[in-house]
Amino acid sequence: MLELPSISVKDLQEWSKLGEVLTSGHRLCSGCGAGIMARQVTLAAKALGDPIMIVNATGCLEVATTIYPYTAWNAPWLHNAFENAPATASGAIEAMKAMRRKQNKPDRNVNMIIFGGDGGTYDIGLQSLSGAIERGHDFLYVCYNNGAYMNCLSLDTHIMTEEGLKRVTDIKIGDQVYAFNQKSGELVLKECSGIFDNGIKKIYELNTLHHTIRTTINHPFLIVQRSRKNIENKLIWKTLGELNVGDEIVVLKSLAEGNSYTFETIKMSKLGDYKVNKLNEVALPKESNPELMEFLGLFIGDGWVRVHKTEIGFSIPKDTKERKRLIELTQKLFGITPSEVNPNDVYIYSVNLAKFIDSLDIGKGAKNKKIPSWIFTLPLEEKEGLIKGLLQSDGYTIGKSNRYVSASIELLKTMRLLLQTMNYRVGKIHKQQKKKGTFVVYRKLLEDSNYGYICFSRKKEPNVGKYLSQIKQRDFLADNPNFKTEKIVSINFIREEPTIDLRVEDEHNFIADGIVVHNTGIQRSGGTPQSAATTTSPPGKVIPGKIKWAKPLAEIMAAHEIPAFTASPAYIRDLMAKVQAGLKHDGSAFLLVDSPCNLGQRYAPEISIETTKIAVKSCFFPLYGTYLGEWILTGESARIAKNPDRKVPVEDYLKLQGRFRHLFKPEWKKKLIEIQETVDERWERLVNLASC
């Protein structure tokens, strides 16, 4: 007979004082269902009073909680391998019995919990589990099912998007990012469908002559594979760990011609406003233009803005052609004449112009300036205007080579990426330190200063038409308007840093720091639902993701004549009641937990619990228990059985997750209906079997 203990909210309050078994300090991803589920399971077990022991199969839960010499487990815990946790537990259980037998002591009740993921349970570990259950050892096996084998970039990576260059941390789901279409070789825009916080990882820096990127060792790059006969040369993906110095990687050469940027209207101050006694009238531009960009270039190099003082200042010495040009530009663009207050500085007093410049996202002071993302979307002529302005401020030109100096490394990084989209050759960022009192460009330093500089020059276009095959030896993509290849000059370990990764629809790649990179891998398992996309069951033109339904694992386990349950971390009391029933049962018991994985199922980490809740509400993952032919629906599933109006369409569940996104394309509409039909059919069968 199946009997579930009834657990009240008061019980939960009491148990919460028992102390965590999986303590803080583990390194599971934010939003990971496994950590939530493990805490609920162990708390329910602890509440039973008898000592608990845990055997954990290889998997996220094991790896992320026990990085030597640390552990997050406040309980006896053992890991052996991937596919053998039940056998390991059976050894431990029987050994403890035998040792007590030898000492003439009676058996002692220990609540043995085994945790395994869906890979370790549905697939490689199924035999070990089936064998251990058949032998009847006393344990509860908890399978945390996230439906795939789940597995980055440094946080200051910059991603090329439709709206210009963005820091990876500023990318949002739904943003259009640039990608490389491997078939046509074109630069295309694709939707970013997932962002993943991948925790602290080891970061390596890859350098070509003109590009630099920091990623984890397993991040894939697109490289040229050259064969002996050049006709068979092709582009393939390789992870950073497989790359060597000298390999040619695909990088961005230039973006498509952009459009002038329309500025957002700012709230203008007028006479009579609070603290506004005098107002210098200015004409503010509506759209970007080459001369405005030149002015901004001067501002980025030598300027600052202080809105509260209604001033825009420039450190440009008098009697220079730069100061002359600044005054000329200011008059022409804004209809206002700057004040030459002292030999070193020029001021423009206008609250509205200060507000305008402040709104452009350029940064206010010397150390935090940058090239804002919108500048990347401008026409080439306007970008050239900016460079012209920049060179007049902190730059200088020697022959054909230009050098730009700045105390803002972010400015140098973004400027380097901008120049790379404009057909310039740009060297690496040189970092230097100047002592107090040294002259830098025109100014004497007041304190020790850290700064950097980059060198760049205009690229000479090779005669592609005439010498294509020779040029292709050097640049495999010489005939591609937007991309080229560059040789790797070094790969170095930097340090451990927080990392992030993106998922991009269709092309599965994006442009990070000017380099084409692939998103990371999630492989299908026996627990992967039908039609779900993983990296080993991708949604293709003919096959929309995984072909078959997941194995009915709980039913397979129930066929061993043991109690088998399903549970969801969204329904805590239901889950805990099942844990306790399973542990109280004399012999093996099985619990299948829907454990959402935001990385693999592709949704934002904060909706983990929401996702698993809707899995239950849509009857995609019903809550039930079964033992010796008796079936009971529990919790929300029991309520749905009594009142079918509570059931939500399976689409509500699927649309939350990127792994089912392709199903919402018109061509797979039929598949969507098919999935709904299968879910309904399975649900109906379950309702007919079960009592509520």
Partner 1 sequence: MLKQVRGMTGDEAVAYAVKLVNPDVLAAYPITPQTIIVERYSDFVNNGEVDTSFIPVESEHSAMSACVGASMTGARVFTATASAGLALMYEILYVASGMRCPIVLAVANRAFSAPINIHGECTDQLVCRDASWVSLFGESAQEAYDETIMSFKIGEHPDVQLPTMFGIEGFIVTHALERVETMSKTDVEEFLPAERDVKYKFSPDEVMTFGSLVLQDYYMEIKRQQEEAMQNAYKVTKEVMAEFTELTGRKMEIVEKYQLEDAEHAFISYGATAGNAKAVVNKLREKGEKVGALKIRLHRPFPIDDIYDALKGIKSATILDRSATYGSPGTIVQGDIATALYGKKDVPTLHGFINGLGGRVLTLPQIIEAYEKAKVYHEEGKTLTQEWIGYRS
* Residue 84 binding partner 1, by CB under 8 A: yes
Is 332 near partner 1 (CB under 8 A)? no
Return the number of the residue (200 or 256) whose C-beta is nearest partner 1: 200
**Closest CB 246 distance from partner 1, rounded Å:** 26
What 3-state DSSP class applies to 455?
strand
Candidate ranges 60-68, 164-172, 546-554, 574-582; the one touching partner 1 (CB under 8 A): 60-68
Q: Cβ closer to partner 1: 515 or 562?
A: 562
Question: To the nearest whole angstrom, how small is the minimum distance from the Cβ of residue 84 to partner 1?
Answer: 4
**Closest distance to partner 1 from the beta carbon of 95 (Å):** 4
Which is closer to partner 1, CB of 105 or CB of 474? 105
Q: What residues contact residue 317 under an 8 Å CB cut-off, 6+ apart?
A: 323, 343, 344, 442
User: How many residues bind to partner 1 according to rule CB under 8 A?
Assistant: 47
The region of 2-10, 75-83, 182-190, 404-412 touching partner 1 under the rule CB under 8 A is: 75-83
Binding segment for partner 1 (CB under 8 A), chosen from 11-19, 61-69, 277-285, 501-509, is 61-69
Q: Which is nearer to partner 1, 69 or 399 (CB)?
A: 69
The answer to the question of residue 223 lying near partner 1 (CB under 8 A) is no
Smallest distance from partner 1 to CB 607, Å? 29
Interface region with partner 1, contact rule CB under 8 A, candidates 96-104, 294-302, 304-312, 459-467: 96-104
Q: CA–CA separation, 41 vs 565, rounded Å? A: 13
Q: How many alpha carbons lie under 13 Å from residue 494 in its C-beta half-sphere?
A: 20
Give the interface segment with partner 1, choosing from 69-77, 232-240, 357-365, 463-471 (CB under 8 A): 69-77
Task: Point out which span in 77-85, 384-392, 505-513, 604-612 binds partner 1 (CB under 8 A).
Answer: 77-85
Instruction: Report how far residue 593's alpha carbon sits from residue 612's, in angstroms, rounded to the nearest whole number.
Output: 10
Round to whole Å and give the CA distance between 489 and 472.
19
Q: Which of 335, 328, 333 is nearest to 286 (CA)?
A: 333
27: helix, strand or coil: coil
Task: Spell 448-480 as b/e; 16+ CB within 10 A means b.
Answer: ebebbbbebbebeeeeeeeeeeeebeebbbbeb
CA distance 382 to 375: 9
Q: Which of residues 101-130 bind partner 1 (CB under 8 A)?
A: 101-102, 108, 110, 127-128, 130
What single string gives the DSSP state of each residue in 258-273? --PPBPPPP----TTS
Cα maximum dimension of the chain: 102
CB within 8 Å of 524: residues ≥ 6 apart: 148, 149, 532, 534, 536, 537, 546
The single residue among 32, 55, 177, 417 that binds partner 1, judged by CB under 8 A, is 55
Q: Residue 131, interface with partner 1 (CB under 8 A)? A: yes
Considering only the stretches 88-96, 282-290, 395-403, 591-599, report the one whose residues sit in contact with partner 1 under the rule CB under 8 A. Answer: 88-96
The encoded tokens of residue 294 equal 């030149």
Asked if 89 touches partner 1 (CB under 8 A), the answer is: yes
Q: What residues contact 12, with CB distance under 8 A and at least 6 apart?
A: 572, 573, 576
Q: Does 71 bind partner 1 (CB under 8 A)?
A: yes
Closest to partner 1 by CB, 55 vs 171, is: 55
Interaction with partner 1 in 424-453: which residues (CB under 8 A)?
A: none
Tokens of 178: 């640039």
Paired sense of beta strands 111-117 and 140-145, if any: parallel
Instruction: HSE, CB side, 13 Å, CA atoms: give it for residue 319.
Output: 1
Q: Which one, of 262, 171, 263, lies nearest residue 512 by Cα?
A: 171
Give yes or no for a contact between 137 and 147, defined as CB atoms under 8 angstroms apart: no
Q: State which of residues 29, 38, 43, 92 lies at the interface with partner 1 (CB under 8 A).
A: 92
- CB environment 121-133: b (16+ within 10 A), e (fewer): bbbbbbebbeebb
Nearest to 248 by CA among 210, 214, 227, 222: 222
Whichever of 67 and 673 has its CB closer to partner 1, that residue is 67
Among 97, 355, 367, 425, binds partner 1 (CB under 8 A): 97
Q: What is the CA radius of gyration of the chain?
A: 31
3-class secondary-structure state, position 329: helix
Question: Is residue 584 near partner 1 by the rule CB under 8 A?
Answer: no
Verify binding: residue 421, partner 1, rule CB under 8 A. no
Q: Does 218 bind partner 1 (CB under 8 A)?
A: no
- Least CB distance from residue 495 to partner 1, whole Å? 14
Torsion-angle region of residue 561: left (phi > 0), alpha (psi -120 to 50) or beta? left
Is 90 a binder of partner 1 (CB under 8 A)?
yes
Q: Compute the least distance from the CB of residue 58 to partner 1, in Å.
A: 9
Which residue among 12, 48, 81, 604 contacts partner 1 (CB under 8 A)?
81
Measured from the CB atom, is 73 or 653 closer to partner 1?
Answer: 73
Instruction: Pick one of 134, 448, 677, 681: the residue that binds partner 1 (CB under 8 A).
Output: 134
The residues binding partner 1 (CB under 8 A) are 51-53, 55, 62-63, 66-69, 71, 73-81, 83-84, 86-99, 101-102, 108, 110, 127-128, 130-132, 134-135
